[in-house]
């Protein structure tokens, strides 16, 4: 099976702009989670979608949002970008999130805000 894919891999944006990142999960996986990884805060959970519904949400401001499509592909959006939003954004999919079977991460999108 193909792994989790994320596009784009690298992105440079200016403060105040908005950005949309895309994630395609492993075929058959219905759960998609998003994480922010920074040197200062480490890996932090943003939100999780399952069958097009947001099931869990981390402690991030409302500027961070997401959605999931019927084919399980997911997008996350960050509006009104701030310098502190510069990070590696990781998407992870899971085939059976209720059993704790682990998540499969994509390579991430490196976002730089200038």
For residue 113, give the 3-state DSSP assignment.
strand
- DSSP-derived letter for residue 1 is -
Least distance in Å: CB of 61 to other proteins? 18
Pick between residue 56 and residue 71 the one whose CB is nearest to other proteins: 56
Pick between residue 40 and residue 62 the one whose CB is nearest to other proteins: 40
Measured from the Cβ of residue 93, the count of other Cβ atoms closer than 10 Å reads 25
Residues near other proteins (CB under 8 A) are 4, 31, 33, 42-45, 48, 50, 55-56, 90, 92, 94, 97-100, 102-108
Least distance in Å: CB of 89 to other proteins? 10
Which residues, listed in sequence order, are joined to residue 32 by a DSSP beta bridge?
A: 49, 93
Residue 34: closest CA among 84, 75, 90:
90
Least distance in Å: CB of 58 to other proteins? 8
């Amino acid at each position: 099976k193909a792994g989790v894919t994320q596009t784009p891999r690298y992105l440079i944006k200016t403060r105040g702009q908005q950005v949309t990142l895309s994630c395609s999960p492993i075929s058959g996986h219905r759960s998609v989670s998003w994480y922010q990884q920074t040197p200062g805060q480490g890996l932090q959970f943003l939100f999780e979608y399952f069958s097009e519904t947001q099931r869990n949400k981390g402690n991030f401001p409302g500027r961070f949002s997401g959605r999931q499509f019927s084919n399980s592909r997911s997008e996350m959006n960050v509006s009104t970008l701030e310098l502190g939003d510069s990070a590696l954004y990781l998407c992870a999919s899971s085939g059976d999130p209720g059993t704790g079977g682990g998540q499969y991460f994509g390579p991430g999108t490196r976002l730089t805000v200038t």
